[in-house]
Amino acid sequence: MGPIAPMLAIMGPLLSAGMQVMGAFGAKDAGKANAKNIQVETDERVRRQGAEDLRQESRARAVSAASGVTTQGTPSSFMSNLMEENKAELDFLRQSGSSQASIAKGQGQQAFLGGLGGAAGTAAGAASGIGDAFGGKQKNRQDDWLYM
């Protein structure tokens, strides 16, 4: 076995471990980016739904006013209920988006930790192979004059 073979035996696993670490950081960044995109999409859905809710409330007020009914009693109660329901819907959209963003970020974090764990395992395998690459079997301590 030439002098290059032991170096290749070490460098291959270490290079692989390095790539796993890079992948781990990439997965973490991707999780953060996905979470941010989900939040941006959620904010836009909330904005659009809020605008639609305002149009719906305006139409209800216009219909009520056109019918000649005063804004006390049933129409007022209806508008109050409509506005409460619209607010609840927007709150649900916000909470749902926040949960989805949190899940995406958590998945990126889990992939990051998995990548680091894989890199550590690969590096440990490389370390255990160093002795084999540079000398074969380990000495028996009983034969070593320092331990006599």
CB 60 within 8 A of CB 81: no
Q: Residue 42 has what pLDDT?
A: 96
Looking at the chain, the whole-number percentage of residues with pLDDT higher than 70 is: 80
pLDDT exceeds cutoff 90 at 47: yes
pLDDT tier for residue 128 given thresholds of 50, 70 and 90: confident
| Mean pLDDT of the region 75-91 | 89
Angle, CA of 125, 131 and 135, to the nearest 5°: 150
Please tell me whether the overall predicted TM-score, pTM, comes out greater than 0.85 for this model: no
pLDDT exceeds cutoff 80 at 28: yes
